[in-house]
Structure 1
């Protein structure tokens, strides 16, 4: 695969083959101790870096969003100051917990007798403004637009009251309980009980002190998350994707049959731009599985289907974009069809490369890298867990074959990554002729495995396969654990750092 010369345009030519990345464990948040039972609501269901890479957000099945902020940049003053430091010192992104908030609550649709889970399906960062963070989060039915900002906590630091007086319910009483003071309308006072006022207008000895008020100061700051918009009642089916547009004003949301276009400032109206619902539902042959806007062209977006195809659409062509401008689909090899062919061909996630020229897709068995200028076949195919092919029947029986794995690309377009079972994730190099394929286990155990796996020869000049393991061989040398799966991960936008979720734990790796 060759780049187009633009900034972050992709890997260099085949002649230069850099050494493979050496991955190291960086951090872990929320790792469970041995024997600890993980609650269902604590399992992470979404991960997303913001565009700067200085903030990371995770969502869980309990409807909570947790934010992390980068700390190593602050330690060096700024990113430029950090770059000026001695490069011989190994540095990598370090994060700390920032705040969390409850984004969604469980609901019940009485019209359809349907329970709506609070689980966060996707999180997307929006443009920052005035030092405040903005992000979108969605469950199956409702999208919310959040603003997270620091608010100064105001406290009363000084009550200007005489030391010999006590404060009670806003009134000031005398320290002597035997002679209560009566306040007169003209400002005078009497030492007689209330109700027996004296008309003596003389001032008390020493006169009245000047009027004093409490002093309010702002000493501390607190992070406040406020929901600014709620976008609801626009999807009949479960929302599987949301994606921000490069114009900073609009975003899309996709369910199984429709894609809607929203304006961030308008929550009660959306435009249906893709509708694949047939007149007769019995004629339904495929559904939408993922959708994403082009990173730089605000008029282009792509969506994937359960049949393994990716459609590129142009919003300038028509208001309803049922007709795609391009379709990317790998042709089926003759004689290779089986009962599981359509199931494992379903694409669970797509991502545009930063250059906007390439699209990465993840189906059950493979990663595929597509060039939008060449729709005949993918430019690269990466085997994620080919050794599971003989076990497809078992995977179908326990429903694991329907697991939806995320995929991600590095900012420079030279590497791609995705997850697998036994809390493993795989990183592949994208340069033709370079056989980089690394398998890592999400664990802070120093003995975690990092295995270099030989790849198959290139299939053609424009397409190559990497990381195909021998069938039946397990990475850990043990029986494969289908109950532990690494579904969600994200790549830092500018550095070789990966955040991945294993159950309720967030692991960070760097190279």
Structure 2
């Protein structure tokens, strides 16, 4: 790899694919206008010191109601947790999430034409709105997207005329009476069945999928292209964005994330490794290579450094539930944009500014290329994103308060309040502070999810899924 590709981060992006508020945190707990504490609810996953690579959680997603919570891991498995009904004898208790269904979504494959291994790792999970008793979700690895149906069976048919109870065919000449089959109760069984497989449409690795508000189409994005699919059609898709240059040596940026607008089915955005966001309207043309809006923050020349382009790369972009705002996450900060103001972000929240002095070592150990996600709470008044040392950050947009919390088994006692953590950048360290030099960069919170209606959050820390909720006295 050339030195120029290392400097821009573009080469490293493809290489990895193949195989303003105080940054230190503290203060009150943001939760959409109400000042309350977060407490431990549950933790899922083994306590083993040696974590198998296949068990590392790679995506977390609540469904539209928040009653189901899905996780995907690097082993290609999807685990769905269901929220139990609240206990009437304890009206202030919250329903816990327990395992509802586990299934193997993707298997490792080999592309014989390109001599490439295709990992089974689940990159994204997206739920479809529930239309009937069954649930549907999309899951994707680097190349193939699958539509899964999750359904329940608590009855079975008995009394067939032409076959026995064990399924064997009966001799027609021995049938002396006509029977009417009946349904008998059985133990509840949850079935996950693949209904559609969308393949062979992406040359590069898929980084995003997003379901449209029309509930009939969805988009999938890789490093250079975005495709539009119909949920009922698997053998073709429409290419709506293509940024691949005629000469790949002229490539200067890649697509890092894409998402549909929550209410306008013709509008979507995609972010790039150059720190820009493009909003496109599919009504203007079939191929949306020309954007309708272009969001970019002017760079301060005085702060320009060798790492500027790498840390400005956007790893995640999310529309607010209202559709008025969108949020982008780069390496050091989270930015909130007003769709009506392209010139600069409405808000900039520093996630871990104390790492700016550590960028050289973070570059050497490849942590600078970590892709952190971000999420909104149900009312769009607070945002959450992850950091290192199993820390995660929350920002209240109304009060401008922020907090650093930790996902740790040491504070996993039931109903135990999470203590705000503070990072000390130098000088004298207080008792409850942690030095920036003591941070564990192998422990990182890349994937988080916020319940669409309640104050419940899910945080993935390596192979463990932590669930926290607001503390009710």
Q: Same fold (TM over 0.5)?
A: yes
CA distance in 2, matches of 1:397, 1:352: 33
CA distance in 1, matches of 2:36, 2:124: 29
CA distance in 2, matches of 1:264, 1:117: 24
Match of 2:384 among 408, 417, 422: 417
1:70 corresponds in structure 2 to: 83
CA distance in 2, matches of 1:104, 1:496: 32
2:466 corresponds in structure 1 to: 507
Match of 1:30 among 24, 45, 64: 45
Matches within 5 A, 1:307-456: 307-431=274-398, 434-446=399-411, 450-451=419-420
SS state at 1:440 partner: strand
Cα shift at 1:217: 3.2
Give the number of the structure whose residues are more often helix, by fraction. Answer: 2
SS state at 2:279 partner: strand
2:151 corresponds in structure 1 to: 149
* Native 8 Å contact 1:123 1:136 kept in 2: yes
CA distance in 2, matches of 1:371, 1:27: 35
Distance change (3 Å), C-alpha of 1:18 and 1:248: closer
2:446 corresponds in structure 1 to: 487
CA distance in 1, matches of 2:217, 2:34: 41
SS state at 1:292 partner: strand
1:81 corresponds in structure 2 to: none
Distance change (3 Å), C-alpha of 1:420 and 1:93: farther
Distance change (3 Å), C-alpha of 1:153 and 1:234: same
SS state at 1:394 partner: helix
* Native 8 Å contact 2:217 2:230 kept in 1: yes
Distance change (3 Å), C-alpha of 1:66 and 1:336: same
CA distance in 2, matches of 1:262, 1:390: 44
* Native 8 Å contact 2:42 2:96 kept in 1: yes
SS state at 2:228 partner: strand
SS state at 2:420 partner: strand
Cα shift at 1:444: 3.7
CA distance in 2, matches of 1:243, 1:170: 46
Q: TM-score, normalised by structure 2?
A: 0.83
CA distance in 1, matches of 2:274, 2:200: 28
Q: Of the two, which has the highest radius of gyration?
A: 1
The number of aligned residues is 422
CA distance in 1, matches of 2:469, 2:410: 15
* Native 8 Å contact 1:409 1:491 kept in 2: yes
| 1:476 pairs with 2:434 | yes
2:23 corresponds in structure 1 to: none
Matches within 5 A, 1:2-13: none
* Native 8 Å contact 2:40 2:417 kept in 1: no
Matches within 5 A, 1:156-235: 217-235=184-202
| 1:497 pairs with 2:456 | yes
Distance change (3 Å), C-alpha of 1:307 and 1:151: same
SS state at 2:268 partner: strand
Distance change (3 Å), C-alpha of 1:134 and 1:337: same
Cα shift at 1:151: 2.2
Could you report, residue by residue, the CA deviation over 1:33-55 in whole angstroms, capped at 9, with x for unpaired residues? 5xx32111011000000111111
Question: RMSD value over aligned CA atoms?
Answer: 2.8
Could you report, residue by residue, the CA deviation over 1:254-301 in whole angstroms, capped at 9, with x for unpaired residues? 000000000000000100000111111111111000000000110101
2:116 corresponds in structure 1 to: 114
CA distance in 1, matches of 2:282, 2:149: 29
1:13 corresponds in structure 2 to: none
* Native 8 Å contact 2:424 2:434 kept in 1: no
* Native 8 Å contact 1:144 1:231 kept in 2: yes
| 1:43 pairs with 2:56 | yes
CA distance in 2, matches of 1:285, 1:364: 19
Could you report, residue by residue, the CA deviation over 1:212-237 in whole angstroms, capped at 9, with x for unpaired residues? 98987342231111100000000000
CA distance in 1, matches of 2:99, 2:338: 38
Cα shift at 1:18: 4.1
Of structures 1 and 2, the one with the larger relative CO (CA 8 A, separation 6+) is 2
CA distance in 2, matches of 1:124, 1:414: 23
Distance change (3 Å), C-alpha of 1:20 and 1:109: same
* Gap runs ≥5 in structure 1: 2-16, 77-84, 158-168, 172-184, 188-209, 454-468
Cα shift at 1:19: 4.9
Q: TM-score, normalised by structure 1?
A: 0.77
* Gap runs ≥5 in structure 2: 1-19, 21-31, 160-167
Cα shift at 1:448: 8.1
2:70 corresponds in structure 1 to: 57
Cα shift at 1:92: 3.7
